[in-house]
Structure 1
Amino acid sequence: MGVPRPDGGYPAGVRLLPNAVTVLNLCAGMSAVYFALHANFASAIIAVLVAALCDALDGGLARLLDAASRIGAELDSLADLVSFGVGPALVIYIWHFQDTRAGWVISLVFAVCMALRLARFNTLIDDDSAPPFAREFFVGVPAPAAALTAGIPLYLSLHFGEGWWTNQWLVAVWVLLTAGLMVSRIPTLSLKAVKVPQRAIAPLLVGVVVIVAVLFVAPFLGIAIAALGYLALMPWTIYRYRWLSRHPEAWDVPVRQRRAVARAARSARRLGLRPPLRRRVAGRAGAVARGVRRRLDPDGAARHDEHARNGRAVRGPGAGHPPRGSDRRLGIRRENRGRR
Structure 2
Amino acid sequence: MANGNRGVRLLPNAVTVLALCSGLSAVQFALSGHFDLSIAALGAAAILDSLDGRIARLLDATSKMGAELDSLADCVSFGVAPALVLYVWCMDGNRLGWVVTLVFAVCAALRLARFNTLLDDTEQPPYAKEFFVGVPAPAAALVAVLPLLLDMQFGPGPWSSPVVVGIWMVLTAGLMISRLHTLSMKTIRVPPQFIAPLLVLVGLAAALLITLPVLALIVAMVIYLVHLPYSVYRYRWLARHPEAWYVAARQRRAAVRALRGTRPGGVRPALRRRVAGVALRGAGALNGRRRSEPNGERPRGRARLGLRKIRRDR
**TM-score over 0.5 for the alignment?**
yes
Deviation, structure 1 residue 253: 2.3
* One-letter amino acid matched to 1:118: L
Distance in 2 (CA, whole Å) between partners of 1:79 and 1:169 is: 29
Q: Which residue number corresponds to residue 194 of structure 1?
A: 188
Aligned residue type for 2:28: Y
1:172 corresponds to which of 160, 166, 173: 166
Structure-2 separation of matches of 1:228 and 1:40? 24
Deviates most, 164-173 or 135-144: 164-173
- Please list every run of at least 4 consecutive aligned residues from structure 1 whose deviation after the TM superposition is greater than 4 angstroms: 267-274
TM-superposed deviation, 1:90: 0.5
TM-score, length basis structure 2: 0.81
CA distance in 2, matches of 1:255, 1:136: 13
CA distance in 1, matches of 2:250, 2:54: 23
Computed over aligned residues only, the root mean square deviation of the Cα atoms, in angstroms, reads 2.2
Distance 1:267 1:42 in 2: 50
Give the whole-Å Cα distance in 2 for the aligned partners of 1:257 and 1:25: 40
Offset, 1:199? 2.5
SS of residue paired to 1:16: helix
CA distance in 1, matches of 2:251, 2:40: 39
User: Which residue, 16, 23, 29 being the options, matches 1:35?
Assistant: 29
Quick check: which has more Rg, 1 or 2? 1
Tell me how many residue pairs correspond in the alignment.
Answer: 270
Q: Does 1:97 align with 2:127?
A: no
CA deviation after TM superposition for structure 1 residue 18, in Å = 0.3
1:225 aligns with 219
What stretches of structure 2 of length at least 5 have no aligned partner? 270-312
Distance 1:269 1:160 in 2: 48
Return the match for 1:26 from 20, 25, 32: 20
Measured in 1, the distance between the counterparts of 2:258 and 2:126 equals 21
Counterparts in 2 of 1:289-308, with a 5 A limit?
none
Q: Unpaired runs of 5+ in structure 1?
A: 275-338
Q: What corresponds to 1:124 in structure 2?
A: 118
The 5 A counterparts of 1:243-254 are: 243-254=237-248
Q: CA deviation at 1:201?
A: 2.1
Give the aligned partner of residue 38 of structure 2. Answer: 44
Write the letter of the residue equivalent to 2:59: L
Residue equivalent to 1:263: 257
Q: What's the counterpart of residue 285 of structure 2?
A: none
Q: Which amino acid aligns with 2:16?
A: T
Say whether the 8 Å CA contact 1:133–1:244 is kept in structure 2: yes
Q: How far 1:256 sits from its partner (Å)?
A: 4.4
1: CA distance, partners of 2:152 / 2:139: 19
1:225 positional shift: 1.1
Work out the CA distance in 2 between the residues paired with 1:272 and 1:195.
Answer: 35
CA distance in 1, matches of 2:46, 2:140: 11
Aligned to 2:205: 211
Contact 2:127/2:242 (<8 A) preserved = no
Whole-Å separation in 2 of the counterparts to 1:159 and 1:208 = 22
Aligned counterpart for 1:184 among listed residues 151, 155, 178: 178
1:138 pairs with one of 123, 129, 132:
132
1:307-330 CA deviation, whole Å, 9 max, x = no partner?
A: xxxxxxxxxxxxxxxxxxxxxxxx
Preserved CA contact (<8 Å) 1:159 1:218: no
Alpha-carbon distance between aligned partners in 1 of 2:178 and 2:112, rounded to the nearest angstrom: 12
Q: Residue 20 of structure 2 contacts residue 74 of structure 2 at CA under 8 Å; is this kept in 1?
A: yes
Higher relative contact order by CA 8 Å / sep ≥ 6: 1 or 2? 2
Q: Which residue of 2 is the match for residue 239 of structure 1?
A: 233
SS of equivalent to 2:148: helix
Matched residue type, 1:160: F
User: Residue 144 of structure 1 aligns to which amino acid in structure 2?
Assistant: P
Whether the aligned pair in 1 keeps the contact of 2:8 and 2:61 (CA below 8 Å) is no
Alpha-carbon distance change, 214 to 65 in structure 1, aligned in 2, over 3 angstroms: same
SS at 1:173 equivalent: helix
**1:251 aligns to what SS in structure 2?**
helix
Choose from 144, 155, 158 the match for 1:161.
155
| Correspondences of 1:282-321 after superposition (within 5 Å) | none
- Which string of whole-angstrom CA distances, capped at 9 and with x for unpartnered residues, describes residues 33-60 of structure 1? 1111101111111111111111011001
Deviation per CA, 1:266-295: give whole Å up to 9, x if none: 465599569xxxxxxxxxxxxxxxxxxxxx
Query: Could you tell me how far apart the structure 1 residues matched to 2:166 and 2:189 are?
Result: 36
Letter of the structure 2 residue corresponding to residue 172 of structure 1: G
- Tell me, yes or no, if the aligned pair for 2:90 and 2:161 is still in contact at 8 Å: no
Q: Which has the higher helix share?
A: 2
Secondary structure of 1:11's match?
helix
